[in-house]
Structure 1
Amino acid sequence: MDEKTLRIRNEYIAYVRFEKNYSVHTVTEYERDVDEFLEFLKTEGILTIESITYQEARLFASRLYDRELSRASISRKISSVRSFFRFANARYDINDTAFRLLHHPKKEERLPAFFYAEELDKLFEACLGEKPRDHRDRALLELLYATGIRVSELTSICLGDIDNDLGIVRVMGKGRKERYVPFGSLAQSAIEQYIEISRPLLMKTVKHDRLFVNLRGGPLTERGVRHILDAIVERACIESNVYPHMLRHTFATHLLSAGADMRTVQELLGHSDLSSTQIYTHTTKEHLRRTYMNTHPRA
């Protein structure tokens, strides 16, 4: 690949990391997608992005389909490369028509998975130990379910972001958008016990202000949260495929099922577009339909 293309690539990654303030996970995905596209060009003998035509863009998309990736993955990769070309066009006047003309695959209609009340009870029961890690895990689980925040948002929370008296947490969302999310008495109690008793024991001699810490006292990472949830699920003997984002789905689904208005749920979740929140109305309707079909005598 020529030096100019590599320079644009590096500037683009710096742009999404520092100017757009995307999360580490999002930046990693953008970087991987763009590098995958540049590797594709290399195999096709194309040395510079300045010569890309619609035909090459179509060929790249067809290679993604050949790998039998999900439509969501293909759509994301095309979006990443399109964003890369948009940046190259703005900074270096590189023609971005090829990917502007390329259509996304139609998204799969997949309803978000969520926990039922019985499953949630099992998860919380699995955190009833009295060791410092049990207090941390319970506080972590309570806060995720009580607020519906993303795992990336959870791991960035500092002690000063929590007002446990008022039951409010300050959250830094996507694009560095700040919002305040309330949480209830059960989360308050778990967080208070964790901060006052268990966090100092886990911290030992380490010093930082992140709310959640690992067993060595360092700031808890997104991967660490997934590892903790996997362990809780195993102790709770829940066999379904579980991932941290399910707690966010559960938060939204349970609020809407109980009569919360969609605009409030949108604000709590930090969605910029109401359509992102509307998917949960389909989930609640499907839940009602299944309950009806399973329980009504003449269904």
Structure 2
Amino acid sequence: MSPLEPALDLFLAHVRVEKGLAENSVEAYGRDLRRYVEHLDRLGIPAWERVSRAEIQAHLAELVQAGLSPRSQARALSAIRSLHKLLFAEKLTAGDPSDEVESPRPGRKLPSLLSVEEVERLLAAPDVRRPAGLRDRAMLEVLYATGLRVSELVSLELNDVNLETRVLLARGKGNKERLVPVGAPAAEATRAYLAYARERLLRGRRSKDLFVTPRGARLTRQGFAKLLDRYARQAGIRRKISPHKLRHSFATHLLAGGADLRAVQEMLGHADVSTTQIYTHVDRTHARRLHERFHPRA
């Protein structure tokens, strides 16, 4: 038995009896702390008095490498702190080495995205022989070409898009305006929609909105999300797709291609560049997965 084990039993009895913790909470403490004790045993630590801040930090680093979530890491550190606090209070150690160990920061969830090949299949899904298909193809192309929010896409007006200079005016959060470049395929798809489909959808009605329905109204966010879901299934994309995934894909693919972070920030309409930096993490994560999968010495 580990020489550290008796103190662990003392702690678990303390939280069960003195703190009155539920049994599942006690078991969770036990799992976290047994893993910690195993770590200290591997390091050859013979007594709690010999544990320092360095050993605790090394254990937290092990948890990161094992793939534990930031929430699980924080829970483990909480258990370790409680244990050392009790040992110090009971005068079993001269100090508390966990005192200056910082809690792991909760990680931001990385946005999921489509591969370039999946985007190509999605863009090709609408039937451009129909007016609605031409509209949908133009909307998908513009969304992927510009990284607009879906609310910005459906609220575009005719005068917001200049197909000659290939620039559009987006109105973002707080009605803040920004100019966003439009790629050639998106401009061409929009031109085809305007030349043939829009008037047929309107059937003589008048509208200032760029993307319209046969009732003469603008397409809603919910309506576009349903269309996107249908086209994703047609394209053979099995997982759930949202308009925001195309925005994520736009940003990540741009940065992967070498685009400047500040330029991508401006195109997305982010007030703070730290919001945009999440996409650099996505790109690095994707690159790491590819390396682990294909490199012979990964």
- Note whether the superposition's TM-score is higher than 0.5: yes
TM-score normalised by structure 1 residue count: 0.63
Q: Give the CA deviation at 1:109.
A: 2.8
Change (3 A) 1:128 1:297: farther
Output the CA distance in 2 between the equivalents of 1:182 and 1:243.
Answer: 22
Partner residue in 1 for 2:84:
none
- Superposed CA offset, 1:53-107 (max 9, x none): xxxxxxxxxxxxxxxxxx9xxxxxxxxxxxxxxxxxxxxxxxxxxxxxxxxxx75
Output the CA distance in 2 between the equivalents of 1:189 and 1:204.
Answer: 23
Amino acid aligned to 2:184? S
Output the CA distance in 2 between the equivalents of 1:108 and 1:226.
Answer: 28
Partner residue in 1 for 2:108:
109
Q: Give the CA deviation at 1:264.
A: 0.6
Any unmatched runs of 5+ in structure 2? 1-70, 72-104
The alignment partner of 1:180 has SS state of: strand
Partner residue in 1 for 2:271:
272
Q: Give the CA deviation at 1:218.
A: 1.4
Q: Give the CA deviation at 1:208.
A: 1.2
Q: How does 1:183-194 map to 2 (within 5 A)?
A: 183-194=182-193
Q: How does 1:121-140 map to 2 (within 5 A)?
A: 121-140=120-139
- Superposed CA offset, 1:200-258 (max 9, x none): 00011322110011233311111111111111112112101211100110110001101
Q: Give the CA deviation at 1:128.
A: 4.4
Worse-matched range after superposition: 106-115 or 278-287: 106-115
**In the alignment, is the contact (CA less than 8 A) between 2:131 and 2:198 conserved in 1?**
yes
Amino acid aligned to 2:259? A
Larger Rg: 2
Partner residue in 2 for 1:150:
149
**In the alignment, is the contact (CA less than 8 A) between 2:203 and 2:214 conserved in 1?**
no
Output the CA distance in 2 between the equivalents of 1:107 and 1:230.
Answer: 31
Partner residue in 1 for 2:97:
none
TM-score normalised by structure 2 residue count: 0.63
Change (3 A) 1:231 1:215: farther
The alignment partner of 1:281 has SS state of: helix
**In the alignment, is the contact (CA less than 8 A) between 2:170 and 2:178 conserved in 1?**
yes
Partner residue in 1 for 2:294:
295
**In the alignment, is the contact (CA less than 8 A) between 1:214 and 1:220 conserved in 2?**
yes
The alignment partner of 1:228 has SS state of: helix
Output the CA distance in 2 between the equivalents of 1:295 and 1:176.
Answer: 46
Partner residue in 1 for 2:222:
223
Amino acid aligned to 2:270? H
Q: How does 1:248-287 map to 2 (within 5 A)?
A: 248-287=247-286
Partner residue in 2 for 1:159:
158
**In the alignment, is the contact (CA less than 8 A) between 1:132 and 1:198 conserved in 2?**
yes
Output the CA distance in 2 between the equivalents of 1:164 and 1:107.
Answer: 44
Partner residue in 1 for 2:58:
none
Q: How many residues are aligned here?
A: 195
Q: Give the CA deviation at 1:173.
A: 0.6
**In the alignment, is the contact (CA less than 8 A) between 2:124 and 2:137 conserved in 1?**
no
Q: How does 1:188-227 map to 2 (within 5 A)?
A: 188-227=187-226
**In the alignment, is the contact (CA less than 8 A) between 1:206 and 1:218 conserved in 2?**
no
Amino acid aligned to 1:200? E
Output the CA distance in 1 between the equivalents of 2:120 and 2:107.
Answer: 31
Output the CA distance in 2 between the equivalents of 1:214 and 1:154.
Answer: 14
Amino acid aligned to 1:202? L
Q: Give the CA deviation at 1:108.
A: 5.0
Any unmatched runs of 5+ in structure 1? 1-70, 72-105
Change (3 A) 1:227 1:215: farther
**In the alignment, is the contact (CA less than 8 A) between 1:127 and 1:138 conserved in 2?**
yes
Amino acid aligned to 1:242? I
User: Does structure 1 residue 118 correspond to structure 2 residue 104?
Assistant: no
Output the CA distance in 1 between the equivalents of 2:170 and 2:142.
Answer: 12
Output the CA distance in 2 between the equivalents of 1:240 and 1:294.
Answer: 22
Partner residue in 1 for 2:235:
236
Amino acid aligned to 2:216? G
